[in-house]
Amino acid sequence: MTSIRQRLSAVAVAAGLTLAAACGGSSDAGSDSGNDAAADSAAVAKAKADYDTYANGTPKIGITEPLNAPVPTGKTIDFIACAPAACLEVPKRMQEAAEKIGWKVNIITAQADPGSVQAAFAQAVRNKPDVVAYGGFELVTIQRQVKELKDLGIPVIATAITEEIGEETGILANVRGPNYQKLVGKALAAAVIKETKGKANIGFVDISYFPIYSFVKEGFDEAMDEYCAECSIKVTDMPVTSIGKDASTRLLNFLRANPKINSLVAVADGVNLGLPAAMKSAGIADKVKLFSGTPTAANLPFVASGAESAVVPIPYDEAGWIMVDASIRALLGMSLEESSSAEAMPTVLLTKDNLTSTTEIETLVPDHQEIFLKLWGK
């Protein structure tokens, strides 16, 4: 895997203070308008400084506690994944990590409907693996199967879910949970303000089928309250069934219906596939900047060309290893607090200036394998 290029330049806050006042600050004479302009300029400078942290900082792994016993041998993890391509990235990396310790990860794919999800979890119950992992599904849909796994003594860990973790729910860890998702939203907000110099009219693309994305929006809103409380935000919801089908058409229609939008922020980059070409054909490619979370490899050429201004990737490699690490710790009866923390994995903005690969999501922490193998006593 390639690694993200470390950028050495930093944003000078003093320079940011010389920017034009943003977020609707008035340029009229008078003490109040002068104070507003100064506050707006400071807010833009803060956004630029935060942007620099996410785009040019040094990514780190937040798991530090070594195992308290040797890694158990010959174990199996069943991972239940949703159907879109991005859902398969973490379990694929889990397979790579598991191979290093002689474990196996089976991937069971579920479609969007509750019946398919329940059938996938029922299969995992029948398989009786050592650990069951999953991503994104609501607990209310799979409560019975989770209880069955708990009764069998099979640990369940998750990634990107909204529910509380612990004995009450039966979910022992939540990697990339709500607090991490809020950081993704904050990074995207910082990128929007930096790219628009605070003069943002925002279209926000949610995918409500995945409740975890509501926390990306929450983090985005909280950051925008700090950076630019007067910037407008108009939200549209993308049906999960449209991803990979007519999502770009829906978004082009959304932009046409809202011509003041100059920044389109998507919680998941899969909705943008095909959109840059559609925007170019419609003559609005230069009028709207694109930002998103969860890019796949197919999106990277758009980032490299500047057609997408900034994306926040899931640290797929690191997340896969953290999920296996959490599985080991669950079997050893160790705490999974670090695994579920917002800082367990890095939050990074990728742009055309720091992107080093157009064919794969980059490894953000180049030595993450060595870090985990050392924690595992390998």
Model confidence pLDDT, tens digit, residues 287-330: 999 999 999 889 999 999 999 999 999 899 999 999 999 999 99
Give the domain ranges of the chain. Answer: 13-58+181-312, 76-176+315-345+363-375
The two beta strands, 173-175 and 76-82, are unpaired
Q: Is the pLDDT of residue 362 over 90?
A: no
- At residue 158 the predicted structure's pLDDT band, cuts being 50, 70 and 90, is very high
Give CATH superfamily name and number for 13-58+181-312. Answer: Response regulator (3.40.50.2300)
Residue 157, C-beta contacts closer than 8 angstroms, at least 6 positions apart: 131, 132, 133, 171, 172, 173, 174, 175, 323, 326, 327, 330, 336, 339
Q: What percent of the chain has pLDDT over 90?
A: 79
Helix (H), strand (E) at residue 90: helix 89-100
Q: Which token pair is 223?
A: 């950051």
Q: How far apart are CA 82 and CA 88, in angstroms?
A: 8
Mean pLDDT of 225-250: 95
The pLDDT, as a whole number, for residue 168 is 85
Mean pLDDT of 207-230: 94
Q: Which CATH number fits domain 76-176+315-345+363-375: 3.40.50.150, 3.40.50.2300, 3.40.50.2000, 3.40.630.30?
A: 3.40.50.2300
Model confidence pLDDT, tens digit, residues 13-32: 223 322 233 333 333 333 33
Nearest residue to 39 (alpha-carbon basis) of 225, 308, 248: 225
- At residue 87 the predicted structure's pLDDT band, cuts being 50, 70 and 90, is confident
The pLDDT, as a whole number, for residue 232 is 95
Residue 246, C-beta contacts closer than 8 angstroms, at least 6 positions apart: none
From start to end of 207-244, where are the E strands?
232-237
As a whole number, the mean pLDDT across the chain is 89
Q: Is the pLDDT of residue 201 over 90?
A: yes
Cα(first)–Cα(last) distance of the chain, in Å? Answer: 21
Is residue 203 within 8 Å of 238, Cβ to Cβ? Answer: no
Residue 340, C-beta contacts closer than 8 angstroms, at least 6 positions apart: 165, 173, 174, 175, 177
Same fold, 13-58+181-312 and 76-176+315-345+363-375: yes
